[in-house]
Amino acid sequence: MPDTGADGDLEAPRIRVEVADGVATITLARPDALNALDRPMREQLIRAFREAERDREVRAILLAAEGRAFCAGQDLREEFGGAGPTLTDEIRQRYNPLILAIHRSSRPVVAAINGVAAGAGCSLALACDIRIAADSASIVLAFGKIGLVPDSGVSWFLPRLVGSARAADLALVGDALPAAEALRIGLVSRVVPADALVAEARAIAVRLAAGSPTAMGLTKRALDYAAGSSLEEALEHEAWLQGIAGRSADHAEGLAAFREKRPPRFTGE
Ligand code: T3D
């Protein structure tokens, strides 16, 4: 694949998107650079997640990667400042919208972490709802080693996932975390043999796609809201969301399927 991103060609192909069985599989496809994020890749990822949000056929999203790495983070060959955008510009214009597009997607997003997830590559994985790692994968914050601070949501996601003590250790000491340890501390929820990763992650995504889109989207909103609210606020928010879910055709279909002892056919209505 020609590596034409440096000349400003935002269309230089960096990802693949396939939709099947209700699942949009978005694959990072720059394996020669360990799927490092250059501007075309960031741009194409934002577009892919936004398009998936608009596509009614898409009921779950799988974020996967080609080659031996998941993503080595920011492409360190890209230059910032001078006449071009600064780091802060780029973070505001592309990284932050990308993280928000993933995290705020109404569809469940599964990350299949096939290899190292470093720096902003780790951020991509943390923004997903479910992380499944190959037993050979690892997670490394990497920011500190090159004199940067955790960005793209790491400072927000990490303590919520693993607690403040472990978050500080990972961010400040910066050692690579092998998949088994990532599972032990709750940074990923499943670890599978490397050769089974894509099939296992896809199977989970297909199961999610068969669920109620209404319930999936509202469940994500409930979890997100509760992370920043008091118990009283979360209880009230749950009651409000349950009102919406309870009036949905998906709920009626779920009840009918239960009573008729058949699998439900959810429509997202
Ligand atoms: O906008 C902003 O800049 C702010 C945002 C910052 C967010 C960030 O992501 S900061 C963190 C950036 N990422 C890193 O610092 C990680 C750098 N990479 C590594 O530490 C290592 O490559 C890995 C631990 C990921 C993997 O190590 P290893 O030994 O398996 O592979 P390697 O030999 O180091 O790399 C293989 C190739 O990939 C190599 O290219 P070559 O020599 O074969 O032509 C290497 O240069 C390239 N590569 C790896 N990471 C990057 C990269 N090329 C560009 N950018 C990278 N991040």
> Which pLDDT score, from 0 to 100, does residue 7 have?
52
Q: Kindly give the number of the ligand 1 atom that is closest to the alpha carbon of 77.
A: 54
Taking CA atoms only, the protein residue closest to ligand 1 atom 32 is 34
Q: Residue 267 C-alpha to ligand 1 middle, in angstroms?
A: 42
Write out pLDDT tens, residues 82-120.
888 899 999 999 999 999 999 999 999 999 999 999 999
DSSP-based three-state secondary structure for 219: helix
Spell out the per-residue pLDDT of the chain, length 269, in tens: 344 455 568 889 999 999 999 999 999 999 999 999 999 999 999 999 999 999 999 999 999 999 999 999 999 999 888 888 899 999 999 999 999 999 999 999 999 999 999 999 999 999 999 999 999 999 999 999 999 999 999 999 999 999 999 999 999 999 999 999 999 999 999 999 999 999 999 999 999 999 999 999 999 999 999 999 999 999 999 999 999 999 999 999 999 999 999 999 999 99
Q: What is the DSSP string of 160-189?
A: HHH-HHHHHHHHHT---EEHHHHHHTTSSS
Angle (CA) 54 39 34, round 5°: 100
> Which pLDDT score, from 0 to 100, does residue 11 have?
87
**Domains, the chain, with CATH or none:** 15-209 (3.90.226.10), 213-260 (1.10.12.10)
Q: In what order do the strands lie in the sheet with 69-71?
A: 69-71, 116-118, 138-140, 177-178
Write out pLDDT tens, residues 199-211.
999 999 999 999 9
* Helices 231-246 and 213-226: angle between axes, nearest 10 degrees: 170
Residue pair 74/39 in contact (Cβ under 8 Å)? The answer is no
Q: Residue 72 C-alpha to ligand 1 middle, in angstroms?
A: 5
Kindly give the residue spans of alpha helices, DSSP state H, lying in 30-186. 39-54, 87-90, 96-103, 120-127, 154-162, 164-172, 179-184
For ligand 1, say whether the CB of 149 is within 6 Å of any of its atoms: no
> Which pLDDT score, from 0 to 100, does residue 133 have?
98
Q: Kindly give the number of the ligand 1 atom that is closest to the alpha carbon of 87.
A: 1
> Which pLDDT score, from 0 to 100, does residue 9 have?
84
Taking CA atoms only, the protein residue closest to ligand 1 atom 16 is 72
Q: Residue 257 C-alpha to ligand 1 middle, in angstroms?
A: 50
CA 119 to chain centre: 14
Q: Kindly give the number of the ligand 1 atom that is closest to the alpha carbon of 123.
A: 9
Q: State how far the Cα of 92 lies from the Cα of 106, in Å rounded to an integer.
A: 22
> Which pLDDT score, from 0 to 100, does residue 82 have?
87
For ligand 1, say whether the CB of 153 is within 6 Å of any of its atoms: no
Q: Residue 34 C-alpha to ligand 1 middle, in angstroms?
A: 7
For ligand 1, say whether the CB of 247 is within 6 Å of any of its atoms: no
Taking CA atoms only, the protein residue closest to ligand 1 atom 2 is 87
pTM above 0.85, yes or no: yes
> Which pLDDT score, from 0 to 100, does residue 1 have?
38
For ligand 1, say whether the CB of 146 is within 6 Å of any of its atoms: yes
SS3 content of the chain, % helix, strand, coil (to 5): 50, 15, 35
In DSSP terms, 112 is beta-bridged to 132
For ligand 1, say whether the CB of 33 is within 6 Å of any of its atoms: yes
> Which pLDDT score, from 0 to 100, does residue 8 have?
64
Mutation pick for ligand 1 pocket among 70, 76, 138, 154 (CB with most ligand atoms within 8 Å): 76
For ligand 1, say whether the CB of 34 is within 6 Å of any of its atoms: yes
CA 213 to chain centre: 18
For ligand 1, say whether the CB of 170 is within 6 Å of any of its atoms: no
CB atoms within 10 A of CB 44: 22
For ligand 1, say whether the CB of 74 is within 6 Å of any of its atoms: yes
